[in-house]
Amino acid sequence: MSLKVWQDGNLVAAEQAKVSVYDHGLLYGDGVFEGIRTYKGKVFRLDQHLQRLFRSAQAIRLSIPYNAEELGQAIHQTIKANGQTNAYIRLVVTRGPGDLGLDPNKSPKPMVLIITDKIALYPKQMYEKGMSIITAKTIRTPAQSLNPRVKSLNYLNNILAKIEASDAGVSEALMLNYDGYVAECTGDNIFAVQADKVLTPPVSAGILEGITRDTVIELAAAQGLELEEVQMRLDDLYSAEECFLTGTAAEIVPVTKIDDRIIGTGQPGPITKLLMASFHKYVHKQT
């Protein structure tokens, strides 16, 4: 059965969904998006995702032609049409068709797409044994240039770092900011554990404020763990007892090696395992 895509108010077969060659999302990466998960037919933290979508759109002066309630209904409509219970949702808003110039005022009608499909970023073994990552030479785009809190369609900065990871034979790359502090990975936020304290870079380090990141921060508090948002250098990760990544598609995945340095015992640590179990329990409870 062909998957259905919601496009500007209509459900169409995925192979029939079309984007204009003059769309500024295609020509210039001018647009915003959200990656969302559904578990057992229930959309995970939909309100938070939609709030972030509208904040991102406001930051680039993009007017979304639907309100949050309408987009929520459209997401549920698309999931139902595709008969999915566990899916990954990609909600995309582009500037819409314009001309070959940069002027966004010449794109009067934004385009909205909702795609629901499956996604598996990492193999199951990485969740059990941990993953290796490298430190990218590509630094994270400074907030003064393009605020990483805006989840825009312009992901070239992340892609360049992802290419470095691929060249090194690993799945992810850690990105530092302009000042040399730890920011985030190409598609995930990063956490470390030192002396039983959970650490993660603050938003001011130049990161996307992840929905799963926020969930993990809440779960850590619920488990009575001490957590601090703090600026970290690469050496702080090298000397960490544990390390893990978080993201909507990734959920929580342990990191056991960074560059040529083994993290902790080289196996997923107890706090990482605790938070992974807590996350899965929380998701089950929510659904």
* Helix, strand and coil in the chain, % to nearest 5: 35, 30, 40
Closest CA to 45 of 272, 247, 276, 278: 247
Active site residue 151: yes
Q: How far are the Cα atoms of 44, 199, 232, 262, 271 from residue 220, in angstroms, in the given order?
A: 18, 11, 19, 24, 9
Write out the E strands in the chain: 4-7, 10-13, 31-39, 42-43, 87-94, 111-117, 131-135, 172-176, 182-185, 189-194, 197-200, 226-229, 242-247, 251-258, 261-262
Contact yes or no for 158/184 (Cβ under 8 A)? no
- Residue of 40, 129, 151, 285 with catalytic role: 151
Q: Known catalytic residues?
A: 151
